[in-house]
Every structure is written in structure tokens, then in C-alpha cells.
């Protein structure tokens, strides 16, 4: 956008010269012919109906324009060379010359020196208004002046009426060019400042926080719409006013305390959370920004974030109070876990499958200072190696065929500000172990195919049902990663080692099923079975058995003895396998293969890595066979 300028000219020849120079410079300018108030009034009319940035004018006309128009005015004055040239040309028209001039304060010419240069006298007649201009020309007539120089077209008309010759004080093209270039630069800078102000105001006005800016004199310069709404005021009623002039009705008194303008800080009062910060330019305080939010809205926002995390599944639902127990062993373990919750160190939870490792991980998270952050859980044994890596670390755009446009966040990034739970950590392949070690050491993540790192603030809780130290000795797990993971150690006992907790667990599970009976009402042989059985599947198996018990107990033919036998037949080796062998049903090769895989998974507690190793196939091949 080219800046639009207005320039005044006192006579027709100057209009033509300005138009020629502006065309050569390719500067857009509207020229108004006239002087003093008459010209200033025309400028005002143009500014009121057009988008102009700067006015160029001279002497008394510039002064009149400034009084009527709120725009920058660039003074276009003749220089000494123009005046000297004018004196010499006027002398060629008559013996006695006068110069009609508007005296600019602080910019007076040394006419005495000029007259020494030209060698003749010129009468200087100053004027400050159109009336004074006419009176001074009358004075010139009385003095016997032959030629009147300056004053523009109005001066020429009056001089002619009195029988005197007149001449315009012409400006050189150089002077006009200089004025246009200077004004155009002022206009460009003004446009840039306006654009910055518009962007600045757009940001302030779009903010949901109330914002006030108070200058060094204590006057309010800015009050955004959010501030108007929160404080129930109109910006027009407070902007431009000194804080001391504003009543409690318009602004709360605590926003007008002098300490706010002498320091920085934050406080909460009357449902408002207020922050005040100084605005410094070269270490000099030029004002203060006050921002404030309604506490109720902050709470609603926090609740919204929690709901969104819940919808994404990135929340921990359980706490220590959800762990059903009465045994001393579990009380000691829970107490230790609570102590771990007070730190940010990595925790390694060891326990058989189904003992409740994730329950402890969630409880640790919910008891920690990270409880309001996300809780991300991933089973490292449930995903193929290639998928596991992209899930954990994410990937950059174009990292591989089919990658989402723009890339994708990994689980480490999603867990920022919270906790990530890595279940079955012993199943992580060696090259992913290396990348995980860097996350633990540097707290940064690099996406697959990416070229930059992303800082992450996370706490890692890992879990395994395997003896990691044995894997370290077998060189299947990195020694340095093991020590990074096991800073804090938590071992969950299998269910059969905490038999005194079983009645409580059974009752809790029966209540969950909506049963009308409790553990104490079961036949003695069932109660004995529950407390003496070795529970290879731990609490997960107990939960399944209780659900079945609830359904079967409603049958008229229910027999506790048969129910117990049924459970034994499912879990003991004498049904389908011998001590060192396996019995399978006849079928196709694929069916037999599935029987072998399923039995191996049962034998090794669903540990796919170990099963793949025993079968002599890769973990990926095993995954394909299971999902084939």
C-alpha cells in the first residue's frame, strides 16, 4: 500500500511543480492550492473523507493545518538559496522590494547577512494571519514599495489591487523533492506503526485474560474487552484517566494499590488472580501491565482439561485407597510406594502377571505432584517392534510410507508433565533400549525420521514380570538402563503369598458383580479352596473366577466340588500337558501350531518374547501367527 500525502501550495506554478516531482518520484500526493486557514480547511475536508498519512505545508499554513488536523505535518520551507534567488529576481522588476513572510519561531533567517550578499536592501514585513497580510501590503504601498515578494496568490491579488508588482517565492525542485521524500518516509513509518498497533491490539483484544496497561504517570492507556467484562466497566470511562481519579465502583481498590506500580508479583483476591509486571525500556520503567483472570474460569478450564485427558484415556483412575488389603506385607509395600510418590525418581515394579502392577503405578501417579498431568500406559510386549518404536517416540512427516501428514506425537511427548508407565519393560528390543536410555538421561525425545529433539518433563514407572538382572547377565538387557530404571524398587507379592487378603478381595469382586452373597456365606470347601489355591494368574484370575462363580451359583445344579475341579483341570498340567511334553488335538498344521503357541503362552505367563525364543522364531513372526 502506497502512503497517501497531502501538500499545500500557495500559487498555481508551485502546484504544477509538485505534481511533476511527485510523478517522477512515484509518490502519491494530493495538492491543495491556497494559504493559511483557507488551505487548512480544505486539508481538513480531505482528511475527514480520505485515508491520508502526512500533510506537507509551510509557514503559517502549516500552523493552521496542525490546529485542525490530527496528522503529522512536515514543514516545507524555502531554503536560503530560494530566498536569495527570489530577492534578485524581484529586484529585476522594481527598485524597492519587500518580502512578505511568516516568521517561524526558532527558524528565523539572517536577512542582514543575505542583504550583504546581494548588495541591496529588502524590506521584511512579517504576518501571522490573512488580515495581517493585507495590512502589511498596505504598509508596503505607503512605504513606496515597487515589488511584493512572497505571500502566495492572496498576496499577489492584494498587491495588484494597490498597483504594485508581485512575485511568488518559488521553491526549487530540489526543495520539493526533499520534502516529498521525507514525508513519504514518515508516512511509511506511520503505516508500519499502525500495522504493529493493530496486531498488538488484536492479540490483546483476543486474550481471555483481562489486561490493563498503566503508563509511568499512572494513567490507563489500554483496557481490553476481557477486562471490561470481568471488571464490568467501559474502556472509554477509564482509558486516559489517572488511577487516583478512578473510583472503587469503576475499578477494585486492590488494582490501584501503589505497590503494583513499584514491583512485580501475583496475588488472588475477590475471585481474581492478578499478575503485574513492569514494562522496561533500557532498564527504565515506562509502565505496568496488569493481567487478571477469574478464579472460577481457571477452575472450569482445569476441569475441562481433566475431562479431555479422561476421554483420551490419559488419566490414572486408581489410588492407594483402591488397593484392597489387610495383610502386613501389603501395608508395608503401600507405605513404601507412598514414599516413592514424593519423588520424581524412576520406579521399577516387579511382580507376576495379574498382581496389580499398573494399579500401583496409577496410585503412585495420583499421590505425586504430577497428579494433574497425563498418565500414559503402554504394554511393551503387546506391540510389534516397529510399531512400539513409533508409538513411544512418534515420527516426523515423511518418515516412512503411510506416515501421517505433519508427523505424530509419541507417547513420551503425550506424557509431558505427567507419568508414563512402561509395562513389560523386559520385552523392549535392544535398539529401543538405547533410545529409552537417552530419554532417561537427557529428558529429550527425537521422533523417528526427525532432525530435532523435544524436551519432555516426565516420570517413568516401569514394570516387569521377569527377572531383569538375569536378562542383564544374558546380555539381553542393557546394564546402564537397568540401573537407570531401578532407582526405586517395588516388588508386588503373588496372590498366594497374601492369602489373608483373599476374603476381602473376593467380597470386593462379588460386590462389583452385584452378588447378594459374600465370602463368609460360601461353602467351607470353596472358602478353603480360595485361600489355599496357588492362583497362577493372581488377581486377574481371581476376578475371572469370581465372575464365573456369580453366574454359576445361581444355577440349581451348582456344585462347589465340581467348580473347584473345573478350575484345577484348567490350570493343572494333567489336562493337556505332561511334565515334559504337550498333548494336542489332531487338526491342520495351522490348528496344531495355534494349540502349541497358546499352550506355550499359558506356560510362560503370556511372555511373548520368551515364547518366541523357546519356539525359535522372531517376536514379529509370533505376532503374525497370532494375528494371522
**What integer pLDDT is reported at residue 576 of this predicted model?**
44
Adjacent-strand bridge partners of 242: 219
The dihedral region occupied by 538, where left means phi > 0, alpha psi between -120 and 50, and beta the remainder, is left
Q: What's the whole-number mean pLDDT along residues 321-342?
A: 94
- The cell numbers describing 217, all together, are 504517570
Q: Which CATH number fits domain 208-294: 3.90.660.10, 3.30.450.20, 3.30.200.20, 3.30.43.10?
A: 3.30.450.20
**What integer pLDDT is reported at residue 626 of this predicted model?**
80
> Is 419:316 a contact under the CB 8 Å cutoff?
yes
In the chain, count H helices and then E strands: 25, 20
Q: What is the mean pLDDT of the chain?
A: 84
Answer whether residue 581 shows pLDDT above 60.
Answer: no
Kindly report, residue by residue over 104-163, the tens digit of the pLDDT.
665 567 888 888 889 999 999 988 888 888 999 999 999 999 999 988 888 889 999 999
Q: Residue 403 — very low, low, confident or very high, per pLDDT cuts 50/70/90? A: low
* Domain chopping of the chain, boundaries: 5-76+174-188, 80-170, 208-294, 312-491, 495-571, 573-628
Q: Domain 80-170 carries which CATH code? A: 3.40.50.10660
Q: Fold for domain 573-628?
A: Arc Repressor Mutant, subunit A (1.10.10)
Architecture of domain 312-491 in CATH?
A: 3-Layer(aba) Sandwich (3.40)
Q: What's the whole-number mean pLDDT along residues 87-97?
A: 92
Q: Is 105 exposed, middle or buried (0-12, 13-18, 19+ CB in 10 A)?
A: exposed
Measure the CA–CA gap between 147 and 93, rounded to whole angstroms.
7
Q: Residue 308 — very low, low, confident or very high, per pLDDT cuts 50/70/90? A: low
The closest alpha carbon to 29, from 8, 44, 59, 49, belongs to 8
Q: Residue 313 — very low, low, confident or very high, per pLDDT cuts 50/70/90? A: low
**What integer pLDDT is reported at residue 261 of this predicted model?**
65
Kindly report, residue by residue over 472-518, the tens digit of the pLDDT.
998 889 999 999 998 999 999 999 899 899 999 999 999 988 888 89
Measure the CA–CA gap between 420 and 412, rounded to whole angstroms.
7
Kindly report, residue by residue over 407-461, the tens digit of the pLDDT.
778 889 888 889 999 999 998 988 899 999 999 998 899 888 887 888 889 999 9
Q: Fold for domain 495-571?
A: Helicase, Ruva Protein; domain 3 (1.10.8)
Measured between alpha carbons, how far is residue 428 from residues 347, 395, 492, 602, 613 in Å?
A: 17, 18, 21, 21, 14
The closest alpha carbon to 496, from 530, 462, 521, belongs to 530
**Secondary structure of the chain: what % helix, strand, coil (to 5)?**
50, 15, 35
Q: Residue 395 — very low, low, confident or very high, per pLDDT cuts 50/70/90? A: confident
Answer whether residue 577 shows pLDDT above 50.
Answer: no
- The cell numbers describing 303, all together, are 476441569
> Is 346:484 a contact under the CB 8 Å cutoff?
yes
**What integer pLDDT is reported at residue 527 of this predicted model?**
85
Answer whether residue 405 shows pLDDT above 80.
Answer: no
Superfamily of segment(s) 5-76+174-188: Response regulator (3.40.50.2300)
Q: What's the whole-number mean pLDDT along residues 299-304?
A: 58
Sign of CA dihedral 398, 402, 403, 405: positive
Q: Residue 610 — very low, low, confident or very high, per pLDDT cuts 50/70/90? A: confident
**What integer pLDDT is reported at residue 304 of this predicted model?**
56
Kindly report, residue by residue over 354-372, the tens digit of the pLDDT.
999 999 999 999 999 999 8
> Is 27:5 a contact under the CB 8 Å cutoff?
yes
Q: Residue 236 — very low, low, confident or very high, per pLDDT cuts 50/70/90? A: confident
Answer whether residue 580 shows pLDDT above 50.
Answer: no
DSSP 607: -
Kindly report, residue by residue over 511-544, the tens digit of the pLDDT.
988 888 898 888 888 888 888 888 888 999 999 9
**What integer pLDDT is reported at residue 141 of this predicted model?**
92
Task: Report the share of the chain in percent with pLDDT over 90.
Answer: 29
The closest alpha carbon to 99, from 159, 176, 163, 169, belongs to 169
The closest alpha carbon to 423, from 468, 461, 368, 469, belongs to 461
Q: Is the pTM of this model over 0.85?
A: no
Give the up-direction half-sphere exposure of residue 312: CA atoms within 13 A in the CB hemisphere. Answer: 16
Is 5-76+174-188's fold the same as 573-628's? no
Q: What's the whole-number mean pLDDT along residues 65-80?
A: 85
Measure the CA–CA gap between 243 and 256, rounded to whole angstroms.
6
**What integer pLDDT is reported at residue 623 of this predicted model?**
80
Task: Report the share of the chain in percent with pLDDT over 70.
Answer: 89
Answer whether residue 299 shows pLDDT above 70.
Answer: no
Place of cell 489410588: 319
> Is 272:251 a contact under the CB 8 Å cutoff?
no
9-23, 110-124, 604-618, range with the lowest pLDDT: 604-618
Answer whether residue 245 shows pLDDT above 60.
Answer: yes
**What integer pLDDT is reported at residue 149 of this predicted model?**
92
Q: What's the whole-number mean pLDDT along residues 268-275?
A: 78
Measure the CA–CA gap between 159 and 166, rounded to whole angstroms.
6
Measure the CA–CA gap between 311 and 625, rounded to whole angstroms.
33
Q: Is 379 exposed, middle or buried (0-12, 13-18, 19+ CB in 10 A)?
A: middle
**What integer pLDDT is reported at residue 260 of this predicted model?**
67
Amino acid at each position: 500500500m502506497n502512503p497517501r500525502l497531502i501538500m499545500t501550495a500557495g500559487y498555481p506554478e508551485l502546484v504544477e511543480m509538485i505534481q511533476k516531482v511527485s510523478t517522477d518520484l512515484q509518490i502519491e500526493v494530493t495538492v491543495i492550492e491556497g494559504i493559511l486557514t483557507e488551505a487548512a480547511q480544505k486539508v481538513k475536508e480531505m482528511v475527514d473523507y480520505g485515508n491520508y498519512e502526512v500533510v506537507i505545508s509551510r509557514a503559517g499554513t502549516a500552523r493552521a493545518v496542525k490546529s485542525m488536523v490530527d496528522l503529522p505535518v512536515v514543514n516545507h520551507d524555502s531554503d536560503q538559496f530560494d530566498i536569495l534567488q527570489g530577492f534578485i529576481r524581484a529586484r529585476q522588476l522594481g527598485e524597492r522590494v519587500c518580502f512578505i513572510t511568516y516568521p517561524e519561531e526558532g527558524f528565523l533567517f539572517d536577512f542582514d547577512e543575505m542583504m550583504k550578499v546581494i548588495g541591496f536592501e529588502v524590506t521584511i514585513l512579517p504576518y501571522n494571519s490573512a488580515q495581517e497580510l493585507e495590512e502589511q501590503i498596505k504598509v508596503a504601498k505607503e512605504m513606496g514599495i515597487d515589488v511584493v515578494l512572497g505571500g502566495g496568490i492572496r498576496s499577489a491579488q492584494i498587491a495588484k489591487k494597490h498597483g504594485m508588482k508581485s512575485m511568488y517565492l518559488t521553491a526549487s525542485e530540489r526543495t520539493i523533492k526533499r520534502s516529498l521524500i521525507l514525508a513519504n518516509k514518515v508516512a511509511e513509518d506511520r503505516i508500519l506503526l499502525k500495522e504493529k498497533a493493530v496486531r498488538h491490539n488484536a492479540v490483546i483484544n483476543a486474550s481471555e485474560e483481562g489486561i490493563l496497561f498503566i503508563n509511568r504517570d499512572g494513567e490507563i492507556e489500554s483496557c481490553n474487552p476481557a477486562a471490561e467484562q470481568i471488571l464490568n466497566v467501559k474502556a472509554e470511562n477509564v482509558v486516559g484517566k489517572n488511577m487516583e481519579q478512578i473510583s472503587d465502583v469503576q475499578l477494585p481498590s486492590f488494582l490501584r494499590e501503589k505497590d503494583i506500580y513499584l514491583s512485580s508479583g501475583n496475588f488472588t483476591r475477590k475471585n481474581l488472580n492478578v499478575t503485574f509486571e513492569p514494562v522496561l525500556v533500557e532498564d527504565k520503567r515506562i509502565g505496568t501491565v496488569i493481567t487478571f483472570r477469574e478464579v472460577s474460569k481457571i477452575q472450569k478450564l482445569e476441569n475441562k482439561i481433566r475431562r479431555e485427558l479422561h476421554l483420551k484415556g490419559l488419566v490414572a483412575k486408581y489410588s492407594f485407597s483402591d488397593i484392597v488389603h489387610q495383610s502386613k506385607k501389603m501395608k508395608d509395600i503401600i507405605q513404601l510406594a507412598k514414599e516413592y510418590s514424593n519423588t520424581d525418581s524412576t520406579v521399577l515394579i516387579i511382580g507376576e502377571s495379574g498382581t496389580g502392577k499398573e494399579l500401583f503405578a496409577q496410585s503412585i501417579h495420583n499421590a505425586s505432584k504430577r497428579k494433574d498431568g497425563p498418565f500414559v500406559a503402554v504394554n511393551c510386549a503387546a506391540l510389534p517392534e516397529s510399531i512400539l518404536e513409533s508409538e513411544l517416540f512418534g515420527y516426523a512427516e515423511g518418515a516412512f510410507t503411510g506416515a501421517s501428514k505433519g508427523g505424530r506425537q509419541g507417547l513420551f511427548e503425550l506424557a509431558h508433565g505427567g507419568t508414563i508407565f512402561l509395562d513389560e519393560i523386559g520385552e523392549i528390543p535392544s535398539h529401543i533400549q538405547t533410545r529409552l536410555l537417552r530419554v532417561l538421561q537427557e529428558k529429550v525425545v527425537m521422533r523417528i525420521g526427525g532432525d530435532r529433539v523435544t524436551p519432555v518433563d516426565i516420570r517413568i514407572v516401569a514394570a516387569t514380570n521377569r527377572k531383569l538382572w538375569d536378562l542383564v547377565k544374558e546380555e539381553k538387557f542393557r546394564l546402564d538402563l537397568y540401573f537407570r530404571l531401578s532407582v526405586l524398587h517395588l516388588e508386588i507379592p503373588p496372590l498366594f503369598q497374601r492369602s489373608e487378603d483373599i476374603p476381602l478381595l473376593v467380597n470386593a469382586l462379588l460386590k462389583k458383580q452385584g452378588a447378594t452373597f459374600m465370602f463368609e456365606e460360601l461353602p467351607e470347601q470353596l472358602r478353603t479352596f480360595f485361600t489355599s489355591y496357588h492362583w497362577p494368574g493372581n488377581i486377574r484370575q481371581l476376578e475371572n473366577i469370581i465372575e464365573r462363580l456369580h453366574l454359576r451359583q445361581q444355577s440349581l445344579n451348582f456344585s462347589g466340588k465340581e467348580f473347584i475341579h473345573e478350575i484345577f483341570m484348567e490350570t493343572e498340567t494333567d489336562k493337556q500337558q505332561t511334565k515334559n511334553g504337550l498333548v494336542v488335538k489332531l487338526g491342520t498344521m495351522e490348528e496344531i501350531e495355534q494349540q502349541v503357541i497358546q499352550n506355550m503362552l499359558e506356560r510362560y505367563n503370556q511372555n511373548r518374547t520368551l515364547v518366541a525364543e523357546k519356539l525359535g522364531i522372531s517376536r514379529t513372526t509370533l505376532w503374525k501367527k497370532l494375528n494371522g
